[in-house]
Amino acid sequence: MATYKEFHQYSIEKPNEFWTEQAQLVDWKEPFTQVCDYSRPPFAKWFVGGKTNLCHNAVDRHAAKRPNDRALIFISTETDEEKVYSFAELQREIERMAAIYLSLGVKKGDRVLIYMPMIAQATFAILAATRIGAIHSVVFGGFASGSLATRIDDAKPVLIVSSDAGMRGGKAVPYKHLLDEAIELAEHKPAKVLMVDRGLDKEFNKVAGRDVDYATLREQFLDAQVPCEWLESSEPSYILYTSGTTGKPKGVQRDTGGYAVALASSMKHIYCGGEGETFFSTSDIGWVVGHSYIIYGPLIAGMATVMYEGTPLRPDAGIWWQIVEKYKVSVMFSAPTAARVLKKQDPAFMHKYDLSSLKHVFMAGEPLDQPTHEWFMTELQKPVIDNYWQTETGWPMLAALPGVEKTPIKYGSPSFPVYGYNLQIFREDGSVCDANEKGIAAVIPPLPPGCLSTVWGQDDRFVSTYFTLFKEPLVYSSYDWAIKDDDGYFTILGRTDDVINVAGHRLGTREIEEAIQNHPAIAEVAVVGVEDKLKGQVPMAFAVVKDASKVATPELVKALEKEVFGTVDGILGAIGRPARVHFVTGLPKTRSGKMLRRSLQALAEGRDPGDLTTIDDPSTLEQIKNALAS
């Protein structure tokens, strides 16, 4: 068996041979004639001439061999629903949805925008699109009308699939009025809106002639059989808009064949998931992890995938581990934020259930700080493996590869470059950094299969956004600072635009957060750079304490702040010390757990925090404002 280094080297030095081998993990209707066409840098086409279909690889081929095996496990702790679909049942539901699409005029190449909660019908909607060669664009459910309108105008969908409402923390989150407002705002008007009525919002209006009911149409197509549309490998499968974009949205365009191969290979070499096992990702279909590792990756590997509507704390902090025990989950995928939420709960919840089926827990979405990584792995007694990747790449750029070689885990590090990625750390002059020298993580192209092929409808923006870091060499910029240690382990230090310039010193917010996390009283922290007339910027910290009694009086607050300063001084020196540490009971995050750092920074600087419709708990903003005012 190859070592990690040999495996990675083979993928970089002999990419044609390497990816030809990986391509055997998926079914091809017609074989490819060229592994990679890189005749027009930085654009790459993978498996040229090959014809395949994502829905076939995710569902049909398994339904043919193992029709009664579990495929989709839908669990909602919000509505107390639980339903398991076999591969055969999942295929039937997808064909019914595909027949509905065709009846509503959707054709190959048309866009279908999906604005839905975490329900089984969302899976049908996504896979029905790829089944017939349509291009899906999933927008996070509950996204603001204005943001949704810009995505409607960019993707120009012929059909939107939505639902009356989602559920969060026991409360209905109505969607339909947001969708109606978005369509009103958008210049492009979709011909039809397909509504899944969950009975959660009795008030929603149906627009005559445009809105159609899913349940009614499903009855008409119960016995429908819709064959897969075989697509050339480079034809697009979906568009996914990156968060935080301003002006014209930036739609990451994903291909078909390259994505299928990348995911199939990752399930084998990174996630170690196989046929008949169960994969549980706690993400949302509105984000890239939900696309790659709720919908496509696990199903392509023949695994059952869990689609979960709920929080990690409802009905109690043991719910995820209860699911692991009940469905014998072998691979779990979550976010560092979720781990930090669980860190504030009684660890007895993690020890209450039988987790013997669980092989690994993977983390991604933001840097996994060393104290949380160590705590989580110690409590679970399972390997916790950090991943680093982006919406643009679609699958990990940095990760351990336990399916190739079981390398030691270093807390706070996502390990090594994944096969196919010639990832280096560069100085700002374009030269490669030495070990232990901070620089910008970037990939020498061509990007491997599965990465974005372009920005939807904006080839020039693909080049200008991602490939203009240096004149020489041509590289894909991650816009993240990174460092590599003497053993070759990488650590991500935060966005290049999250770097604080304090009196000429460059400090990553991640480094300061890590230092503060080392204080035993701190459960979670976010650090942002705040404008300062004297120093340019100063770091400001917002911290959640494990025990509220520690900050019960102004005197205790001052004492704890002083202790935190001392902790930071001891790790980074006085230069890394925050100007202030504000103690709050919660930090503003999206419903998928992403920290709203830019909103925090805006509030700290007295600016408009921007679009906050994806915030999970609006009360955290009031806390931040009160803390800043005190």
- Mind listing the pLDDT tens digit for each residue in 219-263? 999 999 999 999 999 999 999 998 543 457 789 999 999 999 999
Sheet of strand 454-455, all strands in order from the earlier edge strand to the far edge = 211-213, 192-196, 159-163, 111-115, 135-138, 238-241, 251-254, 454-455
How high does pLDDT run on average in the chain?
Answer: 93
pLDDT tens digits, one per residue of 436-483: 999 999 999 999 999 999 999 999 999 999 999 998 999 999 989 999
**In the chain, pLDDT over 70 holds for what percent of residues?**
97
Q: What is the pLDDT of residue 140?
A: 87
Helices (H), 328-380: 336-343, 348-351, 370-380
Assign 1 a pLDDT band (cuts: 50, 70, 90).
Answer: low
Residues 6+ apart with CB under 8 A from 421: 397, 443, 447, 448
Q: Whose CA is closest to 228, among 52, 24, 109, 92?
A: 52
Q: What pTM, to 2 d.p., does this model score?
A: 0.87
Assign 501 a pLDDT band (cuts: 50, 70, 90).
Answer: low
Position 143 pLDDT exceeds 90:
no
Q: What is the pLDDT of residue 514?
A: 85
Min mean pLDDT across 41-50, 112-121, 518-527, 598-607 is at: 598-607
Position 159 pLDDT exceeds 50:
yes
The whole-angstrom separation of Cα 508 and Cα 480 is: 10
Beta bridge partners of 162: 115, 195
* Strand duo 51-52 + 231-232: pairing: antiparallel
Q: What is the pLDDT of residue 500?
A: 74
pLDDT tens digits, one per residue of 287-329: 999 999 999 999 999 999 999 999 999 999 999 999 999 999 9
Assign 105 a pLDDT band (cuts: 50, 70, 90).
Answer: very high
CATH fold, domain 503-629, is GMP Synthetase; Chain A, domain 3 (3.30.300)
The whole-angstrom separation of Cα 316 and Cα 186 is: 41
Q: What is the pLDDT of residue 620?
A: 87
| Domain 4-480 CATH superfamily | ANL, N-terminal domain (3.40.50.12780)
Helices (H), 242-282: 257-269
The domains of the chain are located at 4-480, 503-629
Q: What is the pLDDT of residue 246?
A: 42
